[in-house]
Amino acid sequence: MSAVSFANVSRHFGAVKAVDGVSLAIAEGEFFAMLGPSGSGKTTCLRLIAGFERPTSGDIRIFGESVADLPPYKRHVNTVFQDYALFPHLNVIDNVAYGLMIAGQGRKQRHAAAEEALEMVRLGGYGTRKPSELSGGQRQRVALARALVNKPRVLLLDEPLGALDLKLREQMQEELKGLQRQLGITFVFVTHDQGEALSMADRVAVFNDGKIIQVGGPEDIYFRPEVPFVADFVGSSNVLPEALVARLTGERCPAAIRPERLRLASDGPLKARVTGLSFLGLTTRVSFEAEGTRLTALLPQDAPRPVEGETVGLTWAADDLHLMRAGA
Amino acid sequence: MSMAQTSDSFSQTRSEGIGTRLSDTLWRRPGLLLILLLLPPVLWLGIIYLGSLFALLLQSFFSIDHFTGLVNYEFTLKTYAELFTPANFDIILRTVTMAAICTLASAVIAFPIAYYAARYARGRWRAVFYLGIMMPLWSSYLVKIYAWKLILAKEGILTWALEGLHLNWLLDAYLSLPVVGGNSLSVSPTGTFIVFVYVWMPFMILPIQAALERVPPSMLEASGDLGARPAQTFRHVLFPLALPGIVAGSIFTFSLTLGDYIIPQIIGTSRLFIGQAVYQHQGIAGNIPLAAAFAVVPIVIMGFYLWGAKRMGAFNAL
């Protein structure tokens, strides 16, 4: 039985199809990421699971139970909000204990459970502070503890790391992953950051225009994009248009090639003009223009470096050119 | 090029008017600018506002000689003691009760309006809302009260409408009740209450709306997500977060009702409110000390009210 399943679910706001015919199944205990640009429908999908939105059509099930008529307060899922949504008039311990208070637990009991949850996110002893006295990273942990203390069967996370700086974000990624392994709860995680999705999730669903474009493990998504959108958005791969691929290989479909797999060779099959170079440390990023297509290559520092404006030949190994189907 | 020439061309050559020199002086001494800006309002507040308040306080410690009608400029608490005579204490009690009931009713009526405005009204509807709330404040206060007199009077619109609906027995039954009833709504305490609530309503709606606008929708969703039914979300999240707005609004409705002397004079019974007492004692009776003592009552009550609100944590969410 899936933890969460969508059967042809749509959510339309007037003429806007925020979610349009989405079907998916999230397994129990899975770390599932919903990845896509803003406005792609991933957050609406999360809100449909939480119950803040109701589907225009289709069926949503949580552990087999249809939740179409269940308000948020009757669903055994909890959410970590993008802006954390901590209650400013309550201190940290009462924020964390809120769900238990609503459930009718006594003060002593719920405070003990809340303190335990705070220790789990390494904020033991912070109970008497107000949310306004915490840093962004600490608030994020409080929001996490407030959701987890209720022992949800599914935890929903809406861009929870979006407001943190890079270093903190990387640290929290590790911690979230560790918590999920330790607790065995199903995590559904919404993000627009492909690195975050690929590094944390067991499976990733790529969204665009209210539809799921591709679902798969991080490596599938990264190395075997099915359509140009996934290649471009997830892998920042070079996408070669159909006409170019037809001339190079004879196949009539678009293809993707990763920037680190492009090499310079004077006899290479593709002639390209160098339009820019930037030093990235480990590699140098070189931008090209070839027959109206923009390409990027990452060259190791010991490789010969071209000059801007020069026309060079590009080559690659045959299996690095990944053929895709046309479409979104 | 010599040094002298360089510095000449640097410190501009055009002739400096008095305005420029003044600007330069103020730029060099920012404190001076602050003093210039603050002096007029501080003088205004200090002398006219606080000064008159102080004069009032002072007067309340004098007494009047009831034979000669002259003020006796000797320090005494006799005038304050007079406030506690049954007739005067009755006025205070009546006014405070009315102010409390009006405040409560205003808060109850204003909350849903403010909630709608803060959460749902967008674009044009928002403008319509503000216009609707503010428009009554633009027309004359007296005109509004007399308009209400016409609505509530015995031959007024309300009676006429209820007669049309054959419901005037309902009004008659209500008016026959003790304390709140009377000959007609316009001469009953209920009439005074209705008009007070109407006139002060914008002062309650706007602060509550401002408070609710600062509550992000995700806060209410989070409460529901954690299992709270809407009523629980209201009690544990929405109401505490709106409380500073409600308190701010109630300060207006409460203190305005405590001090008003026009509404109870036009609509309601002939029994006095504090404002009317102040008006009569300082005017016809010439009893300035007692008028001053009456005027101090709302100030003291408001002081206690704010102190109590703070102790109850009404400003914690600020």
Q: Which ipTM was obtained for this model?
A: 0.85
Query: How many angstroms separate the CA of residue B238 from the nearest CA in chain A?
Result: 10
Query: How many angstroms separate the CA of residue A263 from the nearest CA in chain B?
Result: 49
Whether the CB-CB separation of A43 and A156 falls below 8 Å is answered with no
Those of residues 44-73 in A touching chain B at CB distance below 8 A are 50-52, 71-73
Please give the interface size between A and B, counted as residue pairs whose CB atoms are below 8 Å apart.
Answer: 64
Residue with tokens 């790391």: A161
Domain boundaries, chain B: 17-47, 80-311
Query: How many angstroms separate the CA of residue B316 from the nearest CA in chain A?
Result: 6
Which residues, at least 6 apart from A230, have a Cβ–Cβ distance to it below 8 Å?
A: A206, A213, A214, A221
Q: In terms of DSSP bridges, do strands A31-35 and A203-208 run parallel, antiparallel, or are they unpaired?
A: parallel
What are the pLDDT tens digits along chain B (318 aa)?
Answer: 444 444 455 655 566 788 888 888 888 888 888 999 999 989 888 888 888 888 888 989 998 888 887 888 888 888 899 899 999 999 999 999 999 999 999 999 999 999 999 988 888 888 888 888 888 888 888 999 999 999 999 888 898 999 989 988 888 899 998 888 888 889 999 999 999 999 999 999 999 999 999 999 999 999 999 999 999 999 999 999 999 899 989 999 999 999 899 999 999 988 999 999 988 888 777 888 999 999 999 999 999 988 988 887 677 655
Cβ pair A98:B236 closer than 8 A:
yes
pLDDT tens profile B86-113: 999 999 999 999 999 999 999 999 999 9
Q: Which stretches in chain A have pLDDT values below 50?
A: none
Q: What is the pLDDT of residue B134?
A: 85
Cβ pair A102:B219 closer than 8 A:
no
Those of residues 231-270 in B touching chain A at CB distance below 8 A are 232, 236-237, 240-241
DSSP state of A39: T
Q: What is the pLDDT of residue B94?
A: 94
Nearest 5°: CA angle at A120, between A118 and A124?
A: 40
Nearest to B317 among A52, A89, A102 (CB): A89
Q: Which CATH number fits domain A2-230: 2.102.10.10, 3.40.30.10, 3.40.50.300, 3.40.718.10?
A: 3.40.50.300
* Inter-axis angle of helices B288-311 and B274-282, nearest 10: 150
CA A212 and chain centroid, separation = 13
Whole-angstrom distance, CA of residue A290 vs CA of residue A313 = 10
Those of residues 210-229 in B touching chain A at CB distance below 8 A are 216, 218-219, 221-229
Query: How many angstroms separate the CA of residue A310 from the nearest CA in chain B?
Result: 49
* Inter-axis angle of helices A136-148 and A166-183, nearest 10: 20
A78 touching B, CB under 8 A?
Answer: yes
A87 touching B, CB under 8 A?
Answer: yes
H-type alpha helices, chain A: 42-50, 92-96, 98-102, 107-120, 136-148, 166-183, 194-200, 218-223, 228-233, 242-249
Return the half-sphere exposure (C-beta side, CA atoms, 13 A cut-off) of residue A296.
Answer: 14
DSSP state of A46: H
Query: How many angstroms separate the CA of residue B107 from the nearest CA in chain A?
Result: 21
Give me the phi and psi of A10, to 5 degrees please: -125, 145
Nearest 5°: CA angle at B286, between B281 and B290?
A: 45
Nearest to B222 among A51, A81, A101 (CB): A81
Report the topology of domain B80-311.
MetI-like fold (1.10.3720)
pLDDT tens profile B173-201: 999 988 888 888 899 999 999 999 999 99
Nearest to B226 among A52, A71, A150 (CB): A150
Contacts B236 to A, Cβ<8 Å: 98, 101-102
Q: What is the pLDDT of residue B224?
A: 96
Q: What is the 3-state secondary structure (H, E, C) of B147-195?
A: HHHHHHCCCCHHHHHHHHCCCHHHHHHHHCCCCCCCCCHHHCHHHHHHH
Whole-angstrom distance, CA of residue B274 vs CA of residue B254 = 13
Which residue in chain A is spatially nearest to B316 when comparing CA positions?
A89
Q: What is the pLDDT of residue B4?
A: 47
Which residues, at least 6 apart from A111, have a Cβ–Cβ distance to it below 8 Å?
A: A93, A97, A127
Whether the CB-CB separation of B87 and B277 falls below 8 Å is answered with no
Report the topology of domain A238-323.
OB fold (Dihydrolipoamide Acetyltransferase, E2P) (2.40.50)
CA B315 and chain centroid, separation = 18
* Per-residue CA distances from A141 to A30, A81, A91, A128, A317 (Å): 21, 11, 14, 15, 46
Contacts A51 to B, Cβ<8 Å: 224-225
Which residue in chain B is spatially nearest to A94 when comparing CA positions?
B236
Nearest to A50 among B225, B240, B317 (CB): B225
Tokens encoding A307? 């000059």
Domain boundaries, chain A: 2-230, 238-323
Contacts B223 to A, Cβ<8 Å: 87, 98
Q: What is the pLDDT of residue B130?
A: 86
Whether the CB-CB separation of A34 and A48 falls below 8 Å is answered with no
Whole-angstrom distance, CA of residue A55 vs CA of residue B90 = 61
A223 touching B, CB under 8 A?
Answer: no
Whole-angstrom distance, CA of residue A227 vs CA of residue B261 = 77
Query: How many angstroms separate the CA of residue A81 from the nearest CA in chain B?
Result: 7
Cβ pair B224:A72 closer than 8 A:
yes
Taking phi over 0 as left and psi of -120 to 50 as alpha, with beta for the rest, A84 belongs to: left
Q: What is the pLDDT of residue B72?
A: 84
Contacts A103 to B, Cβ<8 Å: 227
Nearest to B226 among A52, A89, A102 (CB): A102
Which residues, at least 6 apart from A77, have a Cβ–Cβ distance to it below 8 Å?
A: A49, A50, A51, A62, A152, A153, A154, A155, A156, B225
A43 touching B, CB under 8 A?
Answer: no
Which residue in chain B is spatially nearest to A90 when comparing CA positions?
B317
Q: E strand or H helix at B108, and its extent? A: helix B86-119
Cβ pair B222:A102 closer than 8 A:
no
Whole-angstrom distance, CA of residue B315 vs CA of residue B310 = 6
Residue of B223, B226, B237 for testing the chain A interface, max A β-carbons within 10 Å: B226
Q: What is the pLDDT of residue B2?
A: 47
Cβ pair B317:A78 closer than 8 A:
no
Cβ pair B226:A82 closer than 8 A:
no
Please choose, from the candidates B259, B286, B252, the residue with its C-alpha nearest in 3D space to the C-alpha of residue B273: B259
Q: From edge to edge, which strands make up the β-sheet containing A77-80? A: A77-80, A154-158, A186-191, A31-35, A203-208, A211-216
Cβ pair B226:A99 closer than 8 A:
yes
CA B284 and chain centroid, separation = 27
Contacts B222 to A, Cβ<8 Å: 79, 81, 85-87
Which residue in chain A is spatially nearest to B244 when comparing CA positions?
A89
